Amino acid sequence: MFYEKTLGCYFVFLEKNIPINDFLVDGIHIWPFIRYELMTKMHNVILGRASQDAIQAIEEEGGALLEECYHPKTCIETPPSSFQAWEGTRRPVIIYTRFDEHNRESAQGFRAPLLDGWFDAAAEQGSVLKMEMALSEGMQMVPRARATLFIESNNNKNVEMALKSRELSEFLNVAEDLLNNICVLTEKKFNISIENDLDGIAYDIASLLVQRKMMEKVIEPLRPRLVILTCYYYVSGFALLWACARLGIPVAEAQHCVVGDYQPPYTHWVALPPEGYALLPRWFFVWGESSARQIAGWWPDNGHPHRIQIGGRSDFMEQARDDEETGLAERLAFWARPYRHRILVTFGIKPMDDVVWEAMVKAPRDWLWLLRCHPWGRKKKMRLLHEADLIEWAAGVGLPNIEVEMANESSLATVLSVCDHHVTQISTCAIEALSMGIPTAFVVPTAKNLFSSLLTEEKARLTLTSDELIAAISAGWTGLKRDEQAEMETDSALPRRVLASF
């Protein structure tokens, strides 16, 4: 199950009923970190056992507050229309990466498509350093196409020492007070007990403190003018944000996935204080106007310092050019050409719904289905979510019109270039497909929440049966409205222009 709508409503309810900004440690609001911990535990455990009545109550209570909270955007800034080459010495930019972002192999080594474009743009304007926590999985993904500084990883011994520190004791006391408020209100209002599901938060707080101190030691001598990361909402991301806040260094998050109507790390922040949150990025570099609107629309208009710039996806078409150079694009196009319809199916990390399996079996054999796996599904070899399983399934049901290998070896832009339809549960690829003029059919009810704008504006379809899906693919754009607004900018100059303003 997906609970993004429930979580969005829940956080709005909490932020309207608890003085969450009264809980500080070292002058830092701890709510963004506690909210992340709650989000994880609510999504993975608590809401799964909650009654439907309780979930409905959360959505009704929070939903009643949504209209008064969402308002026109005021924090979207346009990058300079051009930039001049920087002359003289300039402080470096740090690109902070995670090992799993390096999901593309090239002749130069493993690449992080979403961040390497920012690395290159920063390198043109001065010095840049790529930094990553030295984890065993990441150390296997070498060499890197962009040189990477690996820093000491967290370990249990350091955390155990932190568990005895006075600083941790203060943090735990404040966190306990805030969580007690949340537990009491949640049980009283929704009859959901969460107190016994909060194990592990103390360890994460200790880990946060250890990593913050370590990052301060590494970052302080470098004096970067900006730090960029993706997906800020994990312990190391919060540690980086905290360290940079103490050092007076701005942090920007480069967008890594769709920002839908209900995306708790980015939406439904209705209590943002005038001074902002140190544990949220100061800047959000987004793909396009729609993502910018989704984030900024939830922020109060109270003079807070958080801002958004449209930085685009410069890597998107660059990866396609790599496929052209290797001949992969030509091979895929040759394979796909004879088919009447060519459908990209993007898998997530949850089992694909029966509607898709049934549609592939029922559809005409002159339809080609290109099955593309999520990087985690491939790496972890999740059941029916990696190439070998999908090839075995296709052979078992006697489907010759399935393509798996090139659909995963090629860049997304290359695969989309040969397709006329996209099918998914709730993948970000819906935005990339739309930017290339390809309609999407969603196959899970949750899409009504995450992509309600696309569905309401008739830019995509929701199909919950195999017959509906087959009909949607046959119809193509008929009955839908093509998007005039760019959902995703691909101008390679955008990152350069954005960074020039720092």
Here the tokens at position 292 are 């910018």
Burial of residue 291, with CB atoms counted within 10 A of its CB: 0-12 exposed, 13-18 middle, 19 or more buried = buried
Segments in 43-148 forming alpha helices (H):
47-49, 52-69, 113-125, 136-139
pLDDT exceeds 70 at position 78: no
- The mean-pLDDT minimum among 61-65, 107-111, 156-160, 375-379 falls in 156-160
CA–CA distance, 76 with 103 (Å, rounded to integer): 30
The tally of domains found in the chain comes to 2
Spatial CA neighbour of 297 closest among 106, 12, 95, 2: 12
Residue with tokens 């980015």: 266
- Which of 257, 282, 311 finishes a domain? 311
Q: Identify the CA nearest to 415 among candidates 473, 352, 369.
A: 369
Instruction: Give the CA distances from residue 439 to residues 81, 91, 419, 430, in Å, rounded to whole numbers and listed in that order.
Output: 31, 44, 10, 8
In a domain, 497, yes or no: no
3-state secondary structure of 482: coil
**CA 175, CA 180: separation in Å to the nearest integer?**
8
251 in the same domain as 325: no
pLDDT for 243-301, tens place per residue? Answer: 999 999 999 999 998 788 899 999 999 999 999 999 999 999 999 988 998 899 999 98
Are 450 and 356 in the same domain?
yes
CA angle 392, 397, 398 (to 5 degrees): 95
Three-state DSSP string of 368-437:
EEEEECCHHHHHHCCCCCCHHHHHHHHHHCCCCCEECHHHHHCCHHHHHHCCCEEEECCCCHHHHHHHCC
At residue 51, φ and ψ (nearest 5 deg) are: -70, 155
Residue given tokens 């693919």 in the structure block: 473
Q: Which amino acid is at 496?
A: R
Reported as a single tens digit per residue, the pLDDT across 342-368 is 999 999 999 999 999 999 999 999 999
Report yes or no on 104 lying in a domain.
no
Asked whether residue 129 is domain-assigned, the answer is: no
- Judge whether residue 81 has pLDDT over 70: no
- CATH number assigned to the domain comprising residue 361: 3.40.50.2000
Q: How far is Cα 316 from Cα 106, in angstroms, rounded to an integer?
A: 15
Q: What is the C-alpha separation between 223 and 242, in angstroms, rounded?
A: 15
SS3 state at 109: strand
pLDDT at position 481 over 90: yes
Question: pLDDT class for 74, splitting at 50, 70, 90?
Answer: low
Please report the pLDDT score of residue 80 as a whole number: 60
Lowest mean pLDDT among 27-41, 58-72, 177-191, 434-448: 58-72
Q: Tell me what percent of the residues of the chain surpass a pLDDT of 90.
A: 76
Q: Which amino acid is at 253?
A: E
What contacts 99, CB < 8 A, 6 or more positions away?
A: 132, 135, 137, 138, 141
> 345 and 452: one domain?
yes
SS3 219: helix
* pLDDT in the model for residue 82: 52
One domain, residues 206 and 71: yes
Contact call for residues 140 and 105 (beta carbons, < 8 A):
no
The reply to whether 417 and 364 lie within a common domain is yes
Last residue of a domain, one of 311, 326, 342: 311
Question: Cβ distance 84 to 126 under 8 Å?
Answer: no
Q: Which helix (H) or strand (E) holds 176?
A: helix 166-190
Instruction: Determine phi and psi for 472, rounding to 5 degrees.
Output: -65, -40
Taking residue 31's Cβ as centre, other Cβ atoms within 10 Å add up to 27
Q: Are 151 and 132 in contact (CB under 8 A)?
A: yes
Do 188 and 49 have their domain in common? Answer: yes
pLDDT at 155 over 90: no
By residue range, what is the domain housing residue 437?
A: 317-475
Q: Examine the domain organization and report whether 286 and 203 are in the same domain.
A: yes
Query: Does residue 292 form part of some domain?
Result: yes
Quick check: is 97 in a domain?
A: no
Higher pLDDT, 80 or 262: 262
- Check residue 88 and give its pLDDT: 46
What is the C-alpha to C-alpha distance for residues 20 and 41, in angstroms, rounded to an integer?
Answer: 19
| 171 and 243 in a common domain | yes
> Is 268 in the same domain as 367?
no
Between 89 and 17, the more confident residue is 17
pLDDT at position 282 is 98
What are the angstrom distances between the C-alpha of 346 and each of 190, 407, 433?
Answer: 36, 10, 11
In a domain, residue 146? The reply is no
Task: Among 311, 346, 371, give the residue marking a domain's end.
Answer: 311
The reply to whether 324 and 306 lie within a common domain is no
Same domain, 359 and 244: no
% of residues, the chain, pLDDT over 70: 96
In a domain, 338, yes or no: yes
The pLDDT assigned to 79 comes to 64
- Nearest alpha carbon to residue 236 among 212, 261, 206: 212
In this structure, are 356 and 461 located in the same domain?
A: yes
The 3 state secondary structure assigned to 310-346 is: ECCCHHHHHHHHHHHHHCHHHHHHHHHCCCCEEEEEE
Distance CA 172, CA 404 (A): 49
Cα 443 off chain centre by: 20
Residue 103 inside a domain? The answer is no
Q: Tell me the average pLDDT across 412-429.
A: 96
Q: What are phi and psi of 20, to 5 degrees?
A: -65, -20
